Amino acid sequence: MFKRSLADIWFDRVNMLLIVTGLAIIVYPLYFVVLASVTDPGAVQMTLFWPEKFSLEGYKKILDSDNLWVGYKNSFVYAILGTIINLCLTLPAAYALSRKDMKGRSTVMLFITFTMFFSGGLIPTYLTVKELGLLDSVWAMVIPNAVGAWNLIIARTFFQSTIPDELLEAAKIDGCSDAKFFWKMVLPLSQALIAIMVLFYGVAHWNSYFNALIYLRDQELFPLQLVLRSILIENQISNDMMTDMSSMGDQLRAAELIKYGMIIIAALPLLILYPFLQNYFVKGVMIGSIKG
């Protein structure tokens, strides 16, 4: 091997320093949340790198709380059911729109693109959902926005660029129908896309709270994010002079106690999901249908 010059060595060192600093800036807040979740709330202020007063009281409270588990369960249901509906509608639509032999596809595309820039607004949407009888039901969480225009466009572009016309022709010659082609050829070749769609839609469902905020009233249906929001917002009432003050101190402490633990518990499923999907990204890109 050739000898590395002094400049090279220093370049590497500076590089390393910058990367480590950048990493620290990103990782520390995350680390702090983990740290704060196992610290006594009174000592969080003084905590820097290790727990000042170790306490698992917060997690104990979380595990005991019914509301949070109901929210957790609901979030799972909405994310899984919602994502399945999303995929069932987005993928076939995107594939159809990617086919050049579909008549009027540019008009359809125009309508779909239109919704990316203009919408009916909050109240008309609310009234529509209400008139459809979806209010206060699971369906209000999964049916409105069942197809994301942006995701549809991504999927269409993906099909257009990765499924060659020749493949369709070859399949047709072998007597394959359109539906069978979509099922047997397009989907298996689009694992990367499906993984991305699952991630996009899944994360959106998991993190969404606004739809729940306006469409749901029954606490039994609240997703996790709304339960979290309630815990944080209900703290603010302590400033209200009309409130009875005696339980305020306890309530405040309890909320502080579970706040950080909740962030971790809420983020956990996505942290677990991500590496699995990442695996697909790599595979999907590597396996092509036409070699060379």
Partner 1 sequence: MNNRRKKLLVSFLSVMMSVSVLSACAGNNNDGVEPSKEPNQTEAAQTPEATDGGGEQGVFPIAEKVTLEMVTCKHPNNGPFEEMDFFKQYEEKTNVQIEWTDIEFAQCEEQRNLILASGELPDAFYGTLALTGNDVINYGGQGMLVPLEQYITKETMPNLTALIEQNPKYKAMLTAPDGHIYSLPSIRELMLWLSPDMMYLNKEWLDKLELAVPTTTDELRTVLEAFKTKDPNGNGKNDEIPFSFLWDFANYNVMGIGSLFGTFGRADSANHIFVEDGKVVFSAKEPEYKEAIQYYHSYFKDGLFDKESLAQDRNQLVGKGSGTEQRLGGFFSWNAFSVVGVDNDPKYVLVPALKGPNGDQVWRKSLSNNQGVNPFAFSMTAANEHPELTMQWIDLSYATDTSIEAGWGPIGTTLEDKDGTLTLKEAPAGLTTDQYVFKTAPVEAPYAILENTYGTRLAMADKDKVKIDGIKENYLPYMTSETFPGVLFTAEESQKIKTLDTDINSYVNQTSAKWLLQGGVDGEWDKYLADLQKMKVDELISIYQTAYDRFKSAQ
Interface of this chain with partner 1, residues 26 to 85, rule: CB under 8 A = 40-45
Non-local CB neighbours of 43 within 8 Å, separated by 6+ positions: 51, 52, 53
Q: How far apart are the C-alpha atoms of 177 and 194, rounded to whole Å?
A: 22
Which value, to the nearest 10 degrees, does the dihedral of the CA atoms of residues 209, 243, 246, 70 take?
-20
CA 1 to each of CA 4, 125: distance values in angstroms, whole numbers, following the listed order:
9, 67
Binding partner 1 (rule: CB under 8 A), the pick from 61, 99, 105, 253 is: 253
**Only segment of 26-34, 71-79, 177-185, 218-226 that touches partner 1 (CB under 8 A):** 218-226
Interface of this chain with partner 1, residues 131 to 170, rule: CB under 8 A = none
Binding partner 1 (rule: CB under 8 A), the pick from 239, 271, 272, 291 is: 239
Binding partner 1 (rule: CB under 8 A), the pick from 230, 267, 273, 280 is: 230
Binding partner 1 (rule: CB under 8 A), the pick from 252, 268, 282, 285 is: 252
| CB closer to partner 1, 21 vs 243 | 243
Residue 197 · residue 91 · CB < 8 Å:
yes
99 lines the binding site for partner 1 (CB under 8 A): no
| CB closer to partner 1, 174 vs 250 | 250
246 lines the binding site for partner 1 (CB under 8 A): yes
Angle at 224 between CA 220 and CA 229, to 5 degrees: 100
| CB closer to partner 1, 101 vs 218 | 218
SS3 54: strand
CA nearest 186: which of 96, 281, 72? 96
| CB closer to partner 1, 143 vs 248 | 248
| CB closer to partner 1, 84 vs 233 | 233
Q: How far apart are the C-alpha atoms of 206 and 210, rounded to whole Å?
A: 12
Binding partner 1 (rule: CB under 8 A), the pick from 149, 170, 176, 248 is: 248
Least Cβ distance, residue 241 to partner 1 (angstroms): 6
Task: Determine the residue type at 41.
Answer: P
Q: What is the DSSP secondary-structure string of 144-172?
A: TT-S-HHHHHHHHHHHHHHS-HHHHHHHH
Q: How far apart are the C-alpha atoms of 82 and 103, rounded to whole Å?
A: 30
| CB closer to partner 1, 161 vs 239 | 239
Q: Which residues bind partner 1 (CB under 8 A)?
A: 40-45, 122-123, 126-127, 130, 213-214, 217, 219, 222, 226, 229-230, 233-234, 237-239, 241-249, 251-253, 256
